[in-house]
Amino acid sequence: MQLIDRIRATIRAHDLARAETRVLVAVSGGSDSVALAYLLTELAARGVLHVAGIAHLNHQLRSAAAADEAFCGEIAARLGLPFLSHREEVTARARAERRSLEDAARAARYGFLEDARRRLDADVVALGHTRDDQAETFLLRLIRGAGSRGLAGMYPRNGTMIRPLLGCRRADLQAYLHERGVPFVHDSSNEDVAIPRNRVRAELLPLLERRFNPSIVDVLADEADIAREEWAWFEETAREASREVVQHPADCVWTVQVDRLRTLPPALARMVVRGALVAAASGKHVSFRHVQAVLRLAGLDAGRIAGPAVSVERVGNRLVLTNKGTPEGPDEGRANLFRYPLSIPGEVVLAEAACVVSAEAAPSLGSVVLSNSVTGVVRLDRCRTPLAVRNRRPGDRFRPLGLGGRKKLQDYFVDKKIPRQHRDRVPLVVDETDKIIWVAGHGIDDEFRVTDSSQAVLILRLT
């Protein structure tokens, strides 16, 4: 199959562009991107797509950067296309944002390309990544310990970015340019083997081709395709499972149902936990070790772990995930006021207190234990709804059973020897008037005491 037919097949297979699609071509000046510009121009002449222009970012990293920028402008002029360029001091950006030079360059490049796409009213931006680049990416991620998601490599389409050359070898593109006498520039930074990708390209891939498999690039690129398709199926399956297992009951809080999680195959359970952690971490990195630690916690009766962005605690049959960007109470010298509505029947997950408070009505006391550390039973007719669960406020008072009078909640906590650092995390069930009904885990207010076993009751439970 001819090179241009191979590219057209890739475009059709992944629906990268149609006759009416305006494509902006990202050109660095190297062989891959220059060939991309010429090949897409040929396809535009055949009505496959429309080329909107050429864009180039000058990273100002090399002495030849200005000459490369001028060269790309010449390519655009030769093809009769609009040309947009931009200069950015990537070194300064990397220093200011405390990221690697390679990462800063990537961020600058994609930011500029998206801006250029809008300016030229293009639908997508075409990038010159090849089959060789895909094989290099697969190896890099394999070496770093990536799973199926990472091994999927570069996608033919990622938002507004498309990669029409993923089915082409770099050598074929260079041969295409040589046949037509089209020049391209050589980036000397590609020879710097201190950069991992360059080392893979210059040392590892040639070794694998020479000593193990002469078709290793195609093999690895095919493996990336397989991983991408498997990951797409796996991701959708995990999404469906997450709807049954993961809830988001409050801001910055997610819960995972442990009993349902345990019914899933190990790989799917890992994926569900990872998804919950990623959501709770607000985009921050979630490591394999963090996921494994959470899965181990799911096998315990109690416990807590703290990751880089999310704390996870086993509370009853749930794992409670809390974004650590929110205040966590007096342990850090900050108030952490909370208040959540409590329906009847219903329950409230309190990540702040690492517990669940539930309410359930019953026609009579029956065989329910009147009061213990995890159950409070009160007269239903005295509870003015709606109820709520909150933590203490200044001036709180209530009437403990048998005391005969009201007592400051602060003094009650002191008498109960509740540690100072835990007092702001003790849940209080209150009625519509904000009157304390139950100090969860400790005692009910005497006003709500059940006086007749035939009375309708409200059963409050702390898990």
pLDDT tens for each residue of 46-86: 999 999 999 999 988 888 899 999 999 999 999 999 999 99
Give the model's pLDDT for residue 325. 65
Quick one: average pLDDT of 191-217? 91
Q: What's this model's pTM, rounded to 2 decimal places?
A: 0.66
pLDDT at 380 over 50: yes
pLDDT at 372 over 70: no
- What is the CATH number assigned to the segment(s) 337-462? 3.50.40.10
User: Which parts of 324-449 are beta strand (E)?
Assistant: 339-342, 346-350, 355-362, 375-379, 387-390, 397-398, 407-408, 428-430, 436-439, 443-444
Give the model's pLDDT for residue 265. 95
pLDDT at 330 over 50: no
pLDDT tens for each residue of 350-365: 877 778 888 888 887 7
pLDDT tens for each residue of 109-153: 999 999 999 999 999 999 999 999 999 999 999 998 888 888 999
Residues of the chain within CATH 3.50.40.10 domain(s) are 337-462
Residues of the chain within CATH 3.40.50.620 domain(s) are 3-228
137, 196 Cβ separation under 8 angstroms: no
Does domain 251-323 bear CATH number 1.20.80.10? no
Quick one: average pLDDT of 372-395? 83
Give the model's pLDDT for residue 334. 39
57 residue type, one letter: L
pLDDT at 260 over 60: yes
% pLDDT > 70, the chain: 95
DSSP 121-188: T-SEEE----HHHHHHHHHHHHHHT--HHHHT-S-SEETTEE-TTTTS-HHHHHHHHHHHT------G
Q: Domain 3-228: which CATH class?
A: alpha beta
How buried is residue 314: exposed, middle or buried, by Cβ count under 10 Å (0-12/13-18/19+)?
buried
Q: How far apart are CA 161 and CA 200, in angstroms?
A: 25
